[in-house]
Amino acid sequence: MSGKTVLEIKNLSKSFGKNKVLDGINLTVEEGTVCGLMGENGAGKSTMMKCLFGIYAKDEGQIDLFGHPVEFSGPKEALESGVAMVHQELQQCLDRTVMDNLFLGRYPTKGGIVDEARMLRDSNNLFARLSMNVNPKTVMRTMSVSQRQMVEIAKAVSYDAKLIVLDEPTSSLTEREVRKLFSIVDNLRKQGVSFVYISHKMDEIFEICDDVAVLRDGKMIFKKHVADTNMNELISAMVGRSLDKRFPDVDNAPGEPYLEVRNLNTKYDPVLHDISFMVRRGEIFGIYGLVGAGRSELLESMFGIRTIASGQLIVGGKKMHFNSSKQAMNHSFALVTEERKLNGMFGKDTIKFNTTITNLEAYKTMHLLDNKKLNEAATREIKQMNTKCVSPDELITALSGGNQQKVIIGKWMERSPQIFLMDEPTRGIDVGAKYEIYQLIIKMAKEGKTIIVVSSEMPEILGITNRIAVMSNHRLAGIVNTKETNQEELLRLSAKYL
Ligand SMILES: Nc1ncnc2c1ncn2[C@@H]1O[C@H](COP(=O)(O)OP(=O)(O)OP(=O)(O)O)[C@@H](O)[C@H]1O
Ligand SMILES: [Mg+2]
């Protein structure tokens, strides 16, 4: 490598009100390298990058790009200077096409009108160059989250940026897409493009990064060559203590059969075929499978938000049929979804509102909402979930990505559901906080709750469940005892119907 410095952040500080989020940060990124950026939820990773892009105004410090101080007024100006960012929470126009999203704000024109033919050509060339199979005319809304994430990555590449910031880019990518992303990153790196790569996934950091920097509570702990550090060192740098194990003991004792799904078929695409299983009280039941195998659809069909064509849902010996999530909730079901922005979160509202909204009846005194009870609930969940925030009245959008997810889990905890469906519950959550969520899951199971958890992370599904159902191509490929299975078996089952 030439060793030329592309980005140099010097003594960067940023506060929101009294909350000092970045405290004298220094970071350099060299040409043609990938610099990982790690740190707990709320450590300041996204904020740091938003200061670079002028999305937030920094309080102090200097940012040099290619040797010159810069002060961008916003992402557009940054892009024009060769710096692109793929955000943690995608900001796309879902009702527009892929190519509209690619060219937003820079439509090619011909004689004063938008040159659609050129847009299509350029889009196709871009996807061909990245060997991605996407039709530029597809409406974004009809695509999966993972495909939308890939479009966003392609967009960053299309600007011929010299520095690309990826903020948790793989959170919803399929394994194959992760491979593709890594080969794109690797190719661009060879051409001299630099990256800042924010992720909570250790194995990704060791695979794709040259260097790794760790932030804790707004301070830069260190930046090292990946080859000169290891997982334990990174964890203790992030959480300020060592974490001797990643999973608590799964010492719950499942009781009698409680929930049963019998020959379930769903009506609309993607159609689930003939799914049958039984889960006990106090059991933690995992659902594994590749992204797109139908796991979320299965949870949704149990929760009344996906039409069932045939089959039965039986709870405590009684047949149930839910036509809406409300009915499911009335029968003590809860569903934590993977896409918090679309399904779970009211962005314009406070932590307090988001914590209490699904359970308002519980906070009334004489038929009126009791603010004291609302505050107590919000405070209880902030404490239980260890959510990093200033107060319950803070807007949920002011929280870091991982802390937003904790609020969503807390809201469902408030309902104390008998059957807790969790779809990728620890997505975007840091290593330390994951452990706490696992403890909560085990605690709920010990209280006799039935827990069904979908996860794409193999260690997680093997680390916290009693049994695992594996889905493959919208079918159930098998059910195994967690203690008696291994990674190979899960992978083999997940490919059964491909
Ligand atoms: N617009 C805002 N207003 C007020 N506080 C904010 C705002 N944006 C971020 N913060 C606060 O800054 C801190 C750092 O947040 P940031 O999003 O940078 O964390 P992060 O390291 O990216 O975490 P995660 O891994 O969860 O994404 C958090 O405490 C957050 O609440
Ligand atoms: Mg973040």
The reply to whether ligand 1 has any atom less than 6 angstroms from the CB of 218 is no
- For residue 215, the ligand closest to its alpha carbon is 1
Q: Which ligand is nearest to the CA of 50?
A: 1
Residue nearest to ligand 1 atom 1, measured at CA: 398
User: Among all ligands shown, which has an atom nearest to the Cα of 401?
Assistant: 1
Per-residue pLDDT at 226 exceeds 60: yes
420 vs 366, residue with greater confidence? 420
pLDDT at residue number 24: 97
Which ligand lies nearest the alpha carbon of 199? Answer: 1
Query: Nearest Cα to 305, choosing from 418, 214, 215, 423?
Result: 423
Residue nearest to atom 10 of ligand 1 (CA): 398
**Residues 6 or more apart from 367 whose CB is under 8 A from it?**
none
Average pLDDT for 195-208 = 94
Average pLDDT over residues 341-352: 76
Does residue 388 line the site of ligand 1, with CB under 6 A?
A: yes
Pocket test of ligand 1: the residue of 12, 27, 46 to mutate, having most ligand atoms within 8 Å of its CB, is 46
Enter the tokens of residue 50. 């938003």
Give distance in angstroms: CA of 293 to centre of ligand 2. 28
> Which pLDDT score, from 0 to 100, does residue 289 have?
92
| C-beta separation of 463 from 246 below 8 A | yes
411 within 8 A of 357, measured Cβ to Cβ: yes
CA of 41 to the centre of ligand 2 (A): 7
Please report, for the chain, the start and end positions of each structural domain, with discontinuous segments joined by +: 5-239, 257-494
Write b or e for each residue in 23-38: b if 16 or more Cβ atoms lie within 10 A of its Cβ, otherwise e: bebebbbbbbbbbbbb
Which mutation among 13, 14, 16 tests ligand 1's pocket best, with the greatest number of atoms within 8 A of CB? 16
What's the gap in Å between 393 CA and the centre of ligand 2? 20
Given pLDDT bands bounded at 50, 70 and 90, which one contains residue 371? very high
Interval between CA 281 and ligand 2 midpoint (Å) = 36
* H/E run at residue 402: helix 401-414
pLDDT number for residue 130 = 86
The closest-lying atom of ligand 1 relative to the alpha carbon of residue 394 is 4
Residue of 47, 88, 404, 436 with the most ligand 1 atoms within 8 Å of its CB, for mutation: 47
The amino acid present at 3, given as its one-letter code, is G
Q: Is 261 in the pocket of ligand 1 (CB under 6 A)?
A: no
Taking only the tens place, the pLDDT of each residue in 415-431 is: 999 999 999 999 888 88
- Rounded to a whole number of angstroms, the distance between the first and last alpha carbons of the chain is 42
Torsion of CA 296, 298, 301, 305, to 10 degrees: 0
Q: DSSP string spanning 439-470?
A: HHHHHHHHTT-EEEEE-S-HHHHHHH-SEEEE
Please tell me the residue having the least CA distance from ligand 1 atom 9. Answer: 398
Q: How far is the CA of 223 from the centre of ligand 1 (A)?
A: 21
Q: Ligand 1 centroid to 446 CA: how many Å? A: 34
Domain at 257-494, CATH homologous superfamily: P-loop containing nucleotide triphosphate hydrolases (3.40.50.300)
Quickly state the pLDDT bin for 244 (edges 50, 70, 90).
confident
Mean pLDDT, the chain, as a whole number?
Answer: 91
Average pLDDT over residues 345-349: 80
Sequence-distant (6+) residues with CB within 8 A of 368 are none
Question: Which residue out of 20, 55, 400, 430 has the highest number of ligand 1 atoms within 8 Å of its CB and is therefore the one to mutate?
Answer: 400
Q: Radius of gyration of the chain from Cα atoms?
A: 23
Give the C-alpha separation, 314 to 299, whole Å: 14
Ligand nearest, relative to CA of residue 17? 1
Tell me which H or E stretch contains 42: none
400 lines ligand 1 (CB under 6 A): yes
Question: Does any ligand 1 atom lie closer than 6 A to the CB of residue 403?
Answer: yes
Torsion from C-alpha of 67, 106, 197, 66, nearest 10 degrees: -10
C-beta 404 within 6 A of ligand 1: no
Mean pLDDT of the 161-174 span: 87
Interval between CA 64 and ligand 1 midpoint (Å): 23
DSSP assigned state of 271:
P
- The fold of 5-239 is Rossmann fold (3.40.50)
* pLDDT (0 to 100) of residue 2: 56
In order of 259, 356, 410, the CA distances from 415 in angstroms are: 19, 9, 9
Separation between Cα atoms, residue 108 and residue 113, nearest integer Å: 8
> Which pTM value belongs to this model?
0.85
pLDDT, one tens digit per residue, over 119-148 is 999 999 999 988 888 999 999 988 877 788
Ligand 2 center to 42 CA (angstroms)? 7
